């Protein structure tokens, strides 16, 4: 037998692999591992997003954001007082000046941070 | 409905399934595993892995293939691509368990007695591979089963190219004696150089 023929025959023999009895079970095991991997990844992304949001919020709260917001509130009050002379007070301005503004800002920051971190991790 | 999905996946070509898998469709990849899982596991067993180990490595190889499915351009067959991944993963496992160095340091032991009298019978590849040394079996399987060149096999095995070529040559001689038809076995085959000697 020529050398090349033998090598081709050998390749054919290697390629000739009958299905093993548990071929379907094997495929199912691989699919299960894939599913587990995706579920774990989703949890990881969610947890990372939450952690990012919490960290972002804590950073906001630790910084002198309250002082700045207090200043902003004071400005808002001044603005509101000025505006009240011109137009009726709006709900938004009154909400901000009533102290809810801080928590609205913190809440928005948490959501935004969580969304941003989730997106970044997903892209990675 | 799942049955219908399975049937429709079964009718698709490997390349189509790969494109679905690249889009994150895990059921499509499952169909690929169903089609080629046995071939990959056979290859690993032929390289010398035990049944359980071959299953573990094959699973890891398929998971790695899914992660890198976008790299598969359809130039070769999907099965060939996964076999290469699996062969390399098996070698990495050998390396990790320090079995690869033992394999590399393995002496050239002639096992003529193991096959001297059996040339009258045409036996299957799995039986024939048993007469090869571990190093020969790995090298031959990588080159003819996984489709690696001698150079790629040498790189994966971290062995000199010449050593790999020697293992392949000796392995082919033994296989030829074992697998060749009776008349040829009696006359003795020509020395095989191996057409994969492309570095």
Residue by residue, DSSP assigns B98-155 as THHHHHHT------HHHHTT-TTS---HHHHHTTS-HHHHHHHIIIIIS---HHHHHH
For position A90, what pLDDT does the model report? 56
Instruction: State which fold the B1-97 domain adopts.
Output: Rna Polymerase Sigma Factor; Chain: A (1.10.1740)
Which has the closest alpha carbon to B44: B90, B6, B7? B90
CB pairs A-B closer than 8 Å? 91
d(CA B64, CA B72): 12
For position B9, what pLDDT does the model report? 83
Q: How far is CA B18 from the centre of its chain?
A: 21
For position A48, what pLDDT does the model report? 86
- Is A27 within 8 Å of B42 when comparing Cβ atoms? no
Chain A residues within 8 Å of chain B (Cβ atoms): 1, 3-4, 6-7, 9-11, 13-20, 23-24, 26-31, 33-35, 37-38
d(CA A69, CA A108): 14
- Is A17 within 8 Å of B172 when comparing Cβ atoms? no
Is the model more confident about A115 or about A28?
Answer: A28
- Residues A48-104: tens digit of each pLDDT: 888 888 887 777 677 776 677 777 778 878 877 877 776 555 565 555 555 667 777
For position B115, what pLDDT does the model report? 42
d(CA B7, CA B4): 5
Is the model more confident about A101 or about A34?
Answer: A34
The reply to whether B1-97 and B107-194 are identical in fold is no
Question: For chain B (length 199 residues), average pLDDT per consecutive 10?
Answer: 64 90 90 94 93 94 93 87 94 82 59 43 74 92 93 90 94 87 48 45
- Is A3 within 8 Å of B192 when comparing Cβ atoms? yes
For chain A, say whether B187 makes contact (Cβ under 8 Å): no
List the structure tokens of A119.
């997106």
* Residue count of chain A: 124
d(CA A80, CA B79): 72
pLDDT band at A30 (very low <50, low <70, confident <90, very high): very high
Domain spans in chain B, listed from the N-terminal domain onward:
1-97, 107-194
pTM: 0.65
Q: Which of residues 53-112 of B touch A (CB under 8 A)?
A: 55, 58-59, 62-63, 66
Domain spans in chain A, listed from the N-terminal domain onward:
35-123
For chain B, where are the E strands, in sequence order? none
d(CA B142, CA B150): 9
ipTM above 0.85, yes or no: no
Candidates 1.10.10.10, 1.20.1740.10, 3.90.380.10, 3.10.180.10; CATH matching B107-194: 1.10.10.10
CA distances from B184 to B121, B188, B191 (A): 12, 6, 13
Residues of B in contact with A37 (CB under 8 A): 63
- Is A14 within 8 Å of B145 when comparing Cβ atoms? yes
Residue B147, phi-psi category: left (phi > 0), alpha (psi -120 to 50), beta (remainder)? left
Out of A4, A14, A38, whose CB is closest to B195? Answer: A4
């Amino acid at each position: 037998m020529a050398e090349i023929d033998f090598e081709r025959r050998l390749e054919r023999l290697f390629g000739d692999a009958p299905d093993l009895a548990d071929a379907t079970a094997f495929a199912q095991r691989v699919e299960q591992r894939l599913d587990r991997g995706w579920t774990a990844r989703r949890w990881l992304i969610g947890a990372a997003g939450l952690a990012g949001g919490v960290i972002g919020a804590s950073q906001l709260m630790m910084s002198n954001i309250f002082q700045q917001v207090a200043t902003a509130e004071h400005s808002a009050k001044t603005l509101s007082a000025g505006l009240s002379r011109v137009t009726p007070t709006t709900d938004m301005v009154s909400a901000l000046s009533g102290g809810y503004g801080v928590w609205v800002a913190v809440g928005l920051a948490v959501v935004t941070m969580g969304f941003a971190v989730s997106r970044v991790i997903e892209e990675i | 409905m799942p049955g219908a999905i399975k049937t429709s996946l079964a009718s698709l070509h490997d390349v189509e399934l790969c494109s679905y898998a690249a889009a994150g469709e895990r059921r499509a990849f499952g169909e690929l595993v169903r089609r080629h899982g046995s071939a990959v596991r056979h290859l690993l067993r032929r390289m010398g892995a035990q049944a359980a180990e071959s299953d573990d490595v094959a699973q890891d190889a398929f998971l790695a293939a899914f992660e890198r499915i976008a790299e598969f351009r359809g130039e070769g067959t999907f099965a060939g691509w996964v076999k290469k991944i699996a062969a390399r993963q098996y070698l990495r496992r050998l390396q990790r368990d320090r079995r690869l160095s033992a394999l590399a340091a393995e002496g050239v032991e002639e096992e003529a007695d193991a096959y001297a009298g059996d040339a009258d019978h045409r036996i299957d590849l799995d039986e024939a591979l048993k007469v090869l040394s571990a190093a020969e079996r790995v090298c031959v399987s990588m080159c003819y089963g996984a489709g690696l060149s001698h150079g790629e096999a040498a790189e994966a095995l971290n062995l000199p190219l010449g050593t790999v070529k020697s293992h392949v040559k000796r392995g082919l001689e033994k296989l030829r004696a074992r697998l060749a038809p009776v008349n040829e076995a009696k006359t003795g085959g020509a020395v095989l150089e191996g057409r994969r000697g492309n570095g």
